[in-house]
Amino acid sequence: MTTKSPLLSRPGAVEAGGADTGVASHYGEPLREQRALAAGTAVVDLSHRGVVTVTGPDRLSWLNTLSSQQVTNLAPGESSELLLLSVQGRIEFDARVIDDGGTTWLIVEAAEAAPLAEWLNRMKFMLRVEIADVSDDWAVIGTTRRVEEWPDLLVWVDPWPHVGAGGYAYSVVGEESHPGMERPWFEYLVPAADLEATVGDRPLAGVWASEALRIAAWRPRLGAETDDKTIPHELDLLRTAVHLAKGCYKGQETIARVHNLGHPPRRLVFLQLDGSQHTLPAVGSEVRLGERKVGTVTSVVQHYEMGPIALAVIKRSVSPDEILTVVDGDEPYTAAQEVIVAPDAGQVVGRQTGFLKGTHR
């Protein structure tokens, strides 16, 4: 059963659905809320997010052996992202990671906390680790700017779009030109009982606003851009969530093989949709080239500056120069694409080393 946020009692609050059930989609002025969030004057209630903790002296070295990321030497306050993969290299869990010196905190999608805790408990063996799903006790608040009044709260800093140590960018734009640079992102961990008092009278934006900024930043989301066949290369997640030079882990063979070939079977793309319609296509709508289906819309939103925008996963073979059509029932939407993941390895640019520190930005 989904727990509803107490902030849904705020004036104008309209509850979101789907993966964001339990928090507000908006508070009556969604486009104004986007502007405020982008400017750093509003915060987003993400209290529906799942939170899993790992304690014990073996926690970081253990997570290192299980995941795609190098976290053995993760310093207190340092942020990272890790993936847990299947043997075939498909994404099973995507976790935001921060350690406070005694506990490793994993922030995940609402539906992922219980399965992740269960999976981790099966992997304990004889190691000195303890896993707990603490989602009921902790809430998450999102923002595009550090909140000076919250210096004692643990904060995860999104590494996107910086290329981490051992990572690799599959995009065709350099890091400086990446639209994700316009979206610094912070997620504060707050005791659930203190959520209302912590937010206080700060302006609130709904998840409509945070999704609009996420999509514009080309940032993939588990459960939206992923399905049961997704590998990290298709979403440019080698940028922030994979260390190509670390030791063995489940799924590593696929990571290495596809990276060396440079040809993931699908690629994430940003779509600028025809704004003449008064509706948006539904998530799951077909992306077509002529009459042929070449992909699926994974996220879609009305952006306060760009109008209707979307992310989609399409076949790698589709030329970046093609104008595509999104079809929702009988309603077609013309879609101009911007390349996120390069169709060919030769087009890939951009490397950078170094963990993203919790004090960054």
The pLDDT tens digits for 12-29 are 999 999 999 999 999 999
The tokens of 124 are what?
A: 């304990």
Token pair in block for residue 298? 């994974």
| DSSP per residue, 328-353 | ETTEEEEEEEEESS-SSGGG------
Q: Which residue has the higher pLDDT, 191 or 173?
A: 191
Whether the per-residue pLDDT at 152 is higher than 90: the answer is yes
Instruction: Report the C-alpha gap between 157 and 107 in whole angstroms.
Output: 12
Residue 317 pLDDT > 90: yes
Look at 67-76, 318-327, 351-360 and tell me which has the smallest mean pLDDT.
351-360
Does the pLDDT value for residue 3 go beyond 50? yes
Mean pLDDT of 304-312: 97
Contacts of residue 231, Cβ cutoff 8 Å, sequence gap at least 6: 89, 90, 91, 254, 255, 258, 264
pTM of the entire predicted model: 0.94
Q: How confident is the model over 21-51, as pLDDT tens digits?
A: 999 999 999 999 999 999 999 999 999 999 9
Question: Residue 80 — φ and ψ, nearest 5°?
Answer: -155, 180
d(CA 233, CA 218): 14
> Residue 78: which of 359, 357, 360 has the closest Cα?
357
Instruction: Write down the number of H helices and E strands in the chain.
Output: 6, 18
Percent of the chain past pLDDT 70, that is, above it, reads 95
Q: What is the mean pLDDT of residues 246-272?
A: 94
Please tell me whether residue 148 adopts helix, strand or coil conformation: coil
Assign 121 to helix, strand or coil. helix
The pLDDT assigned to 358 comes to 35
Q: Is the pLDDT of residue 361 over 50?
A: no
Q: What is the pLDDT of residue 1?
A: 58
**In angstroms, rounded to a whole number, what is the distance separating the alpha carbons of residues 103 and 325?**
47
Task: Provide the pLDDT for residue 353.
Answer: 37
Q: Using pLDDT thresholds of 50, 70 and 90, give the confidence band for residue 345.
A: low
Tokens found for residue 184 = 């610094």
Phi-psi region of 14 (alpha: psi -120 to 50; beta: other; left: phi over 0): beta
